[in-house]
A and B are shown apart, each in its own frame.
Chain A
Amino acid sequence: MTSLPMGGGRVRRTLRDAPRGMSPFSAFSLLLAAAVILLTLVSLGMVVLKLFIVDGAFTIEPIRHTLTRPDLVSTIGSTLSIVIASTVIAVAIGGGLAWLNERTDARMGLLSDLLPMIPFLVPPVAGSMGWMMLLAPKAGYLNNAWWWLLERFGVHTRAPLMDIYTWHGMVFVFSIYGVAFTYMMIAPALRTLDSSLEEQSRVSGAGGLKTMVRVTLPAVMPAVVAGALLWIWIALVTVDIPMVIGTPADIPMLSTELVSALRQTFPVDRALAVGLSSIIAVIVMAVWLVHHRVMHNQRNSTVGSKGSRTVPVKLGRWRGPVRIAMLGYMGLTTVLPFGALIVVAVTGSWRPTIHWSNASLDRFKELLSNPATAAGLRNSLVLALVAATLVVLVTCVLSLYVHRAGRVTGGVIDAGLKLPGALGAPVLVVGILLTFSGAPFWYAGTLTILFLGYVLLCVPNASIASDAAVAGVGDELMEASSIAGAGELRTFRRVVLPLLVPGMVGAWAIVFVRVMADVTVSSLLAGVGNPVIGFQLVDAQQSGTPADVAALAAVLTLISAGTLFLAVLYGRRKSRWTAGATRG
């Protein structure tokens, strides 16, 4: 060593011979994982306990009580029929949009990519209210427009275009929100499908339609099934649409029956709540297992390869109409319901004829000056900010730990983080309610119990996002940092976290919006003293004026859409240096 006068002696002086046990970072990760998993297991255990033990004695009374309810079969029947019908429609629309967007020349750049995500901009609770104002049988704006149009042609009728308070109406709104999920699963499969597979079929003499049925569809079938199952799994536990539309329509669903067992019966029917949430958990778990199976098989059979080409199908003279239809879909699913909310809020009333002379922003001013709604907004904002930030940070730390831990430890923690998703939120929320509302916690109606519910609601999805983000960072980037002398915390802060930000901004925004517009958790856990916006909306629908409801829903939509928009912008800016590749 001529010019590098670093000898062994110096090293010996500066470094202590510390044995390598568990690092503080690993210990911290394990502690976090234990906390999240414990919360899940305790909540689940509490439900199971209450299912079999009442007043300290073993019993199957809650199960008997639930199963012998006269309307149970019809509730399960209407739940399944609505979920399945909406899935069929969502797969057809989502698959069609995905095909047009990924395989034809009808795509319109960035606009096309955003198109299927548009329904997320209007949260389901607000969207349902918008659709109610558009398609109510007498006062719905669209129905009135329909009658007006028919009268131009001399047809006099009072039969609505669609009555939102029916089975069809429920299926319609469910389908619109389902499209985003089916599209999300089908589009990537179509994107990577090698065009030469289809070209080979055409060269072999098959026509366009035959090629689609014989080659394209079978190739993307696993993705189609995965998309369908994903939506079934989500739709089964959805509370917001059934609460807003199903309640006035008198269409019972499992999720709303659960809410009413805990909220609208007196005394509270805990046995029924425990029984219903267990039934939901069993169905959701079965769907989740099948979905997991399909996804696993799909990963093993790659369609095409990375370098495969996709040549867009030329639509010819259909291109224009198809593009108009795609734009029309976007308008239909977002602008219409949001527009209806704005019209009702601004004119101060919901009447078949719009009185623009009454237009003012007074409703919004009143809303924000009302102490109760202001408190609800503030609570929701704070909870959404805290929950989104904490959940995303925690899942990042844990995904990194799982990524580096051994197969057994990593597998157990990973399964624990995904478990709330597999069980579905209702059973865990009921469990949290049973565990924390009484002694020794007395958290009933507090923001703390809401926060716990939101954490379990959002951890599984955020953890899927952070798994993907961590996998994209590349082990050698972390190894290079520790070789360069950085400890685990420093490596996490300087190398891992900055690289996770672009991937996690989206997850943060989705958790934020989900908590902000949540009805599932808040309808069961929110208290009168600590209102949150989602719960207030459902409450206002029953006791307030349509204008109050519309104004609140519009504000909620603006906050959600604004957050998502900013997140997309921030993510794009932050990922400028990763434009090439995240791997070194």
Chain B
Amino acid sequence: MSLMKSPDRPDAAAEASERDHAVLTVGDVHKHFRRANGQDVPAVDGVSLEVRAGECLVLLGPSGCGKTTLLRSIAGLEHPDSGRIEVEGRPVFCSRDRINRSPQQRRLSMVFQSYALWPNMSVFDNIAYPLRQRGFKRAQLKAEVRRAGELVGLDEILRSYPNHISGGQQQRVALARALVSGDSLVLFDEPLSNVDAKVRQELRIELKGLQHKLGFGAVYVTHDQEEAMELGHRIAVLEHGKIAQMAGPEELYSRPVSRYVATFVGSTNEIEGTVESVDADGAVLSTALGKVVGARVGPDVTAGGKAVAIFRPEAGRVRAERPDGPNAWEARRRDRLFSGTHSEYVVTHERVAYRVWSDGAPVPAEGEMGWLTVPPSDVHIFRP
């Protein structure tokens, strides 16, 4: 039942069917906290989701959106008010049937934000701990720990103590400990937030590789949208305990369903205004910049109501000459920001700054008036 027990990969069909079953099902889970003043705060508000074997689902959101509470509820570290949670098809929590398994009964693994390595045990003993709970014999246990150590590149330091190794190595120990028991579901609670940027990059790539190799299902909590995009097969953006949108990274980025999701995933320019008209082709907004035409209109946008137009910096341009077509607004070109991979211009209109990418075409000199433009197909219109 443990790590890489069967090194020979089954044929593709068997693999596909194995990968297709749900390792985690969460149904309508609610959890509220009571503040000291007696006020009830919903932390998780009716969340339902499913994670398939080999899939990585990222829970993304700002602090306080309920993502960690949801993860801890799955782990059994929080007691939800209601709902149903199944691991490998087996109910571990069900408010209706009064089932609530303890964390040690749920047979899942978790990597904590603080790594939670036991400082009184060596790296070896830390990794061996879950196997000891499952009654592994000495020789088998040794072999499994070694294999897990090699897998994450720790074989040199198994005898060291956690406080004597680097942050990146500590992170690998936590990872090895989570993977060694071979559980089909691994939970990650912002595991990379304590290591520096370079190590973080390395570990993300390794984590993806390990998941591909071992095929565990993962629920990964983060507030870092870049990390979410890189790691997640699907991303659930949480807002006030509810799933605002759950989709693959590309869809989330190019077709956000609300202003909240659009602004949380990637950088955006926003223009507030009043809706002049809405039809099947899009909506027209009257704003301080002038008329803004957007082809992607969110729900509940009605003529006469307030709305916000959103476009991404890479969709916008600044031009010296007035371009043809709609969405060309007079604005002043300010600084040029070079980020290595591309350049951006800051454009201002009535003290509001917009950021657009450079495409090499002529732009006004710094401080001169020019034209800010974006194709209507790249403009989203949402309720504010």
A interface residue numbers (CB < 8 A to B): 1-8, 10-12, 15, 17-20, 23, 474, 476-477, 479-487, 490, 494-495, 498-499, 577-584
Contact of A474 among B116, B170, B216 (CB under 8 A): B116
Q: How far is the CB of A7 from chain B (nearest CB, A)?
A: 7
| B113 contacts A476, C-beta separation under 8 Å | yes
Contact of B114 among A23, A474, A498 (CB under 8 A): A474
Contact of A19 among B98, B110, B163 (CB under 8 A): B98
| A577 contacts B120, C-beta separation under 8 Å | yes
| A498 contacts B120, C-beta separation under 8 Å | yes
Measured between beta carbons, the chain B residues less than 8 angstroms from A8 are 88-90
Given contacts A3-B213, A584-B116, contact A484 B102 (CB under 8 A): no
Contact of A1 among B19, B129, B170 (CB under 8 A): B19
- The CA of A481 and the CA of B19, in the complex, are separated in Å by 28
CB-nearest residue of chain A to B93: A20
Interface residues of chain B: helix, strand, loop or mixed (majority): loop
Q: How far is the CB of B49 from chain A (nearest CB, A)?
A: 18
- The CA of A485 and the CA of B110, in the complex, are separated in Å by 11
Identify which of B176-184, B316-324, B341-349, B360-368 touches chain A: B176-184
Contact of A479 among B2, B98, B116, B130 (CB under 8 A): B116
- The CA of A389 and the CA of B215, in the complex, are separated in Å by 49
Measured between beta carbons, the chain B residues less than 8 angstroms from A482 are 76-77, 102-104
| B119 contacts A1, C-beta separation under 8 Å | no
Identify which of B5-13, B218-226, B306-314 touches chain A: B5-13
- The CA of A172 and the CA of B118, in the complex, are separated in Å by 48
Q: Answer whether residue B37 sits at the interface, using C-beta atoms and an 8 A cutoff.
A: no
| B216 contacts A484, C-beta separation under 8 Å | no
| A4 contacts B116, C-beta separation under 8 Å | no
Q: Apart from A578-B119, A580-B163, what 20 extra A-B contacts exist at CB < 8 Å?
A: A2-B215, A3-B9, A4-B2, A4-B183, A4-B216, A11-B90, A15-B107, A17-B99, A20-B100, A474-B114, A479-B112, A479-B116, A480-B117, A483-B77, A483-B104, A484-B129, A484-B177, A487-B102, A487-B104, A577-B161
- The CA of A579 and the CA of B183, in the complex, are separated in Å by 33
| B119 contacts A19, C-beta separation under 8 Å | no
| B129 contacts A481, C-beta separation under 8 Å | yes
| B114 contacts A1, C-beta separation under 8 Å | no
Q: Answer whether residue B206 sits at the interface, using C-beta atoms and an 8 A cutoff.
A: no
Q: How far is the CB of A253 from chain B (nearest CB, A)?
A: 44
Q: Answer whether residue B159 sits at the interface, using C-beta atoms and an 8 A cutoff.
A: no
Q: How far is the CB of B70 from chain A (nearest CB, A)?
A: 15
CB-nearest residue of chain B to A582: B119
Q: Answer whether residue B214 sits at the interface, using C-beta atoms and an 8 A cutoff.
A: yes
| A483 contacts B109, C-beta separation under 8 Å | yes
- The CA of A10 and the CA of B102, in the complex, are separated in Å by 18
Scan B1-37; emit 1 where CB is below 8 A from any A CB, else 0: 1111111011000010011000100000000000000
Measured between beta carbons, the chain A residues less than 8 angstroms from B228 are none
| A4 contacts B3, C-beta separation under 8 Å | yes
Measured between beta carbons, the chain A residues less than 8 angstroms from B4 are 3-4
Measured between beta carbons, the chain B residues less than 8 angstroms from A580 are 119, 163-164
Given contacts A19-B98, A487-B104, contact A578 B134 (CB under 8 A): no
Q: How far is the CB of B69 from chain A (nearest CB, A)?
A: 14
- The CA of A5 and the CA of B7, in the complex, are separated in Å by 11
Q: How far is the CB of A288 from chain B (nearest CB, A)?
A: 25
Given contacts A6-B1, A474-B114, contact A483 B18 (CB under 8 A): no
- Chain B CB within 10 A, most for which of A17, A479, A483: A483
- The CA of A10 and the CA of B213, in the complex, are separated in Å by 22
| A584 contacts B216, C-beta separation under 8 Å | no
| A6 contacts B183, C-beta separation under 8 Å | yes
| A577 contacts B163, C-beta separation under 8 Å | yes
Measured between beta carbons, the chain B residues less than 8 angstroms from A15 are 101, 105, 107
Measured between beta carbons, the chain A residues less than 8 angstroms from B216 are 1, 4
- The CA of A7 and the CA of B101, in the complex, are separated in Å by 18
Given contacts A479-B77, A577-B120, contact A484 B164 (CB under 8 A): no
CB-nearest residue of chain A to B165: A580
CB-nearest residue of chain B to A407: B36
Scan B79-101; emit 1 where CB is below 8 A from any A CB, else 0: 00000000111100000001111
Measured between beta carbons, the chain A residues less than 8 angstroms from B120 are 495, 498-499, 577-578
CB-nearest residue of chain A to B34: A407
CB-nearest residue of chain B to A498: B120
Q: Could you jot down 14 A-B contacts, CB within 8 Å?
A: A1-B216, A2-B6, A2-B15, A19-B98, A19-B99, A20-B100, A482-B104, A483-B76, A484-B181, A485-B133, A485-B181, A495-B120, A579-B163, A584-B115
| B177 contacts A7, C-beta separation under 8 Å | no
- The CA of A17 and the CA of B118, in the complex, are separated in Å by 29
For the complex of A and B, 10 pairs with smallest distance between CB atoms: A580-B163, A485-B133, A8-B88, A480-B116, A476-B116, A484-B130, A498-B120, A584-B116, A482-B103, A4-B182
Measured between beta carbons, the chain B residues less than 8 angstroms from A477 are 116-118
Q: How far is the CB of B220 from chain A (nearest CB, A)?
A: 16
Q: Answer whether residue B256 sits at the interface, using C-beta atoms and an 8 A cutoff.
A: no
Q: Answer whether residue B54 sits at the interface, using C-beta atoms and an 8 A cutoff.
A: yes
| B90 contacts A483, C-beta separation under 8 Å | no
CB-nearest residue of chain A to B115: A584
- The CA of A490 and the CA of B177, in the complex, are separated in Å by 17
Q: Answer whether residue B61 sits at the interface, using C-beta atoms and an 8 A cutoff.
A: no
- The CA of A584 and the CA of B112, in the complex, are separated in Å by 9
Given contacts A3-B215, A11-B88, A577-B161, contact A20 B114 (CB under 8 A): no
Given contacts A11-B88, A577-B119, contact A483 B110 (CB under 8 A): yes
Measured between beta carbons, the chain B residues less than 8 angstroms from A484 are 104, 109, 129-130, 133, 177, 181
CB-nearest residue of chain A to B117: A584
Given contacts A479-B103, A584-B118, contact A12 B90 (CB under 8 A): yes
Scan B176-215; emit 1 where CB is below 8 A from any A CB, else 0: 0100011110000000000000000000000000000111
Measured between beta carbons, the chain B residues less than 8 angstroms from A23 are 102
Measured between beta carbons, the chain A residues less than 8 angstroms from B106 are 483
| B1 contacts A495, C-beta separation under 8 Å | no
Q: Answer whether residue B162 sits at the interface, using C-beta atoms and an 8 A cutoff.
A: yes
Given contacts A1-B216, A490-B133, A577-B163, contact A20 B118 (CB under 8 A): no
Measured between beta carbons, the chain B residues less than 8 angstroms from A579 are 163
Q: Answer whether residue B75 sits at the interface, using C-beta atoms and an 8 A cutoff.
A: yes
Q: Answer whether residue B275 sits at the interface, using C-beta atoms and an 8 A cutoff.
A: no
Q: Answer whether residue B265 sits at the interface, using C-beta atoms and an 8 A cutoff.
A: no
- The CA of A331 and the CA of B120, in the complex, are separated in Å by 39
| A20 contacts B102, C-beta separation under 8 Å | yes
| A7 contacts B102, C-beta separation under 8 Å | no
Q: Answer whether residue B237 sits at the interface, using C-beta atoms and an 8 A cutoff.
A: no
Q: Answer whether residue B246 sits at the interface, using C-beta atoms and an 8 A cutoff.
A: no
Measured between beta carbons, the chain A residues less than 8 angstroms from B65 are none
CB-nearest residue of chain B to A497: B120
Measured between beta carbons, the chain B residues less than 8 angstroms from A578 are 119-120, 163
Q: How far is the CB of B2 from chain A (nearest CB, A)?
A: 8
Q: Answer whether residue B56 sits at the interface, using C-beta atoms and an 8 A cutoff.
A: no
- The CA of A7 and the CA of B18, in the complex, are separated in Å by 10
| B6 contacts A3, C-beta separation under 8 Å | yes
Q: Answer whether residue B297 sits at the interface, using C-beta atoms and an 8 A cutoff.
A: no
Tell me the chain B residues, 143-164 only, with Cβ under 8 Å from chain A.
161-164
| B104 contacts A20, C-beta separation under 8 Å | no
Measured between beta carbons, the chain B residues less than 8 angstroms from A5 are 1, 5-6
- The CA of A155 and the CA of B214, in the complex, are separated in Å by 94
Q: How far is the CB of B20 from chain A (nearest CB, A)?
A: 10
Measured between beta carbons, the chain B residues less than 8 angstroms from A4 are 1-5, 182-184, 214-216
Q: Answer whether residue B262 sits at the interface, using C-beta atoms and an 8 A cutoff.
A: no
- The CA of A484 and the CA of B109, in the complex, are separated in Å by 7
| B130 contacts A485, C-beta separation under 8 Å | yes
- The CA of A17 and the CA of B182, in the complex, are separated in Å by 22
- The CA of A483 and the CA of B101, in the complex, are separated in Å by 11
- The CA of A556 and the CA of B170, in the complex, are separated in Å by 47
Measured between beta carbons, the chain B residues less than 8 angstroms from A584 are 112, 114-119, 162, 170
Contact of A483 among B5, B108, B113, B161 (CB under 8 A): B108
Q: Answer whether residue B236 sits at the interface, using C-beta atoms and an 8 A cutoff.
A: no
Q: Answer whether residue B44 sits at the interface, using C-beta atoms and an 8 A cutoff.
A: no
Measured between beta carbons, the chain A residues less than 8 angstroms from B3 are 3-4
